[in-house]
């Protein structure tokens, strides 16, 4: 395995982790983001399957949170109100001036993380980033330290590990917001990909994507227990109000922990490329990208369109602090919070098959 610095300055660091067969993951210190994921095909052309902006500088604002670390809290907190023992906190309401989305405007998704260490071995490579947020930033309590490590091995398994600690009792719910299109063509919809999720229930939302309740996936467009394309499910339920409001999917699935890992499998239409994802998080929010803007400049001289990629956010129950009766676990001062997400990429069209 090899780690290569592609850019290093006070503004940001860009580096790649590369396997012996040329499979590669590129990371950006802004947001501790996944910049690209790809392989060299039979024509010696690099095929990127993770939605990436054309310019590294776009990650400072990152309108799509593309590839970014989400924290201290992924998703929405309704009303921007966080109730913890002995105190209620008012958070930044950066969505419609009503809700706190992905932790507000000063979240870890937009800052330049410190590269703490790199490690190269024969069969793996690891990169560790760290950052801090002060007490009261976007309303969240505690002087907090965050770390995220990316470990890639020769089997094309990328394991992401999150750790966080605070000097005050607070709420952590970190995740990653990478979007994937396994075809590598981000100018076309991802809806013909097959999706499988080991989940018997999903959470339905109101028109502002705030949870309203839990329902079984059976006999609904949310039945992905067997591999099925997004297109097929949406066509089978063309007038389903949940799909209409979300322009597709933007919903949490309650993961079955009694099944063998992985909990989610994403497959290209030609079945040549598969993404397996597992995590210790209780839920995954599937976002099919219906609100992605048209015309955003992407890497590889491509232009975005709605539905051009899908994101899988492994996290707590959405809006867990929001009095929905969902499990809600805060982190006491001085206690370490952790989470992992493991991505396994399987390609039948990679360089070794030339």
Strand partners, 131: 146
Cα distances (Å, whole numbers) of residue 290 to 18, 63, 297, 354? 32, 14, 17, 36
Residues counted in the chain: 354
Give pLDDT, residue 44. 79
Mean pLDDT (the chain, rounded): 95
Does the predicted model carry a pTM greater than 0.85? yes
Q: Is residue 351 scored above 60 in pLDDT?
A: no
- Please state which of the ranges 64-73, 243-252, 254-263, 326-335 shows the lowest mean pLDDT: 254-263
> Tens digits of per-residue pLDDT, 104-146?
999 999 999 999 999 999 999 999 999 999 999 999 999 999 9
Mean pLDDT of 251-258: 93
> Tens digits of per-residue pLDDT, 141-197?
999 999 999 999 999 999 999 999 999 999 999 999 999 999 999 999 999 999 999
Give pLDDT, residue 349. 56
Give pLDDT, residue 353. 40
Q: Is residue 354 scored above 50 in pLDDT?
A: no
Q: Which secondary-structure segment (H or E) carries 230?
A: helix 230-236
Strand partners, 326: none
Structure tokens at 162: 């999150």
Task: List the domain boundaries for the chain.
Answer: 2-353
> Tens digits of per-residue pLDDT, 323-349?
999 999 999 999 999 999 999 999 875
> Tens digits of per-residue pLDDT, 65-81?
999 999 999 999 999 99
Mean pLDDT of 216-220: 97
Per CATH, the architecture of 2-353 is what?
Distorted Sandwich (2.70)
Give pLDDT, residue 259. 66
What is the rounded distance in angstroms from the CA atom of residue 258 to the CA atom of residue 80?
34
């Amino acid at each position: 395995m090899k780690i290569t610095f592609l850019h290093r300055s006070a503004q940001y660091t860009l580096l790649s982790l590369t396997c012996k067969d040329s499979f590669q993951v590129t990371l950006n210190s802004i947001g501790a983001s996944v910049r690209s994921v790809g392989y060299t095909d039979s024509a010696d052309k690099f095929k990127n399957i993770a939605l990436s902006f054309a310019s590294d500088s776009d990650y400072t604002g990152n309108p799509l949170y593309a590839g970014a670390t989400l924290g201290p809290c992924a998703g929405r907190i309704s009303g921007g109100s966080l109730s913890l023992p002995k105190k209620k906190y008012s958070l930044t309401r950066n969505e419609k001036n009503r809700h706190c989305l992905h932790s507000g405007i000063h979240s870890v998704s937009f800052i330049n993380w410190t590269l703490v260490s790199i490690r190269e071995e024969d069969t793996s490579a690891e990169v560790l980033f760290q950052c801090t947020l002060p007490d009261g930033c976007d309303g969240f309590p505690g002087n907090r330290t965050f770390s995220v490590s990316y470990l890639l091995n020769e089997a094309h398994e990328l394991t992401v590990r999150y750790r966080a600690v605070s000097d005050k009792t607070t709420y952590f719910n970190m995740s990653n917001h990478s979007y994937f299109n396994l075809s590598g063509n981000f100018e076309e919809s991802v809806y013909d990909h097959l999706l499988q999720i080991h989940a018997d229930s999903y959470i339905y939302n109101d028109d502002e994507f705030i949870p309203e309740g839990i329902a079984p996936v059976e006999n609904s467009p949310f039945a992905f227990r067997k591999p099925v394309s997004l297109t097929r499910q949406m066509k089978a339920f063309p007038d389903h109000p949940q799909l209409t409001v979300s322009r597709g999917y933007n919903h949490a699935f309650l993961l079955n922990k009694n099944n063998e890992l992985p909990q989610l499998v994403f497959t290209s239409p030609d079945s040549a490329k598969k993404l397996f994802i597992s995590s210790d998080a209780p839920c995954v929010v599937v976002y099919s990208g219906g609100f992605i803007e048209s015309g955003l400049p992407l890497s590889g001289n491509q232009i975005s369109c709605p539905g051009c990629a899908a994101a899988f956010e492994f996290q707590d129950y959405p809006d867990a602090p929001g009095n929905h009766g969902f499990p809600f676990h805060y982190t006491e001062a001085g206690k370490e919070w952790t989470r992992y997400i493991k991505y396994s990429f399987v390609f039948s069209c990679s360089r070794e098959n030339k």
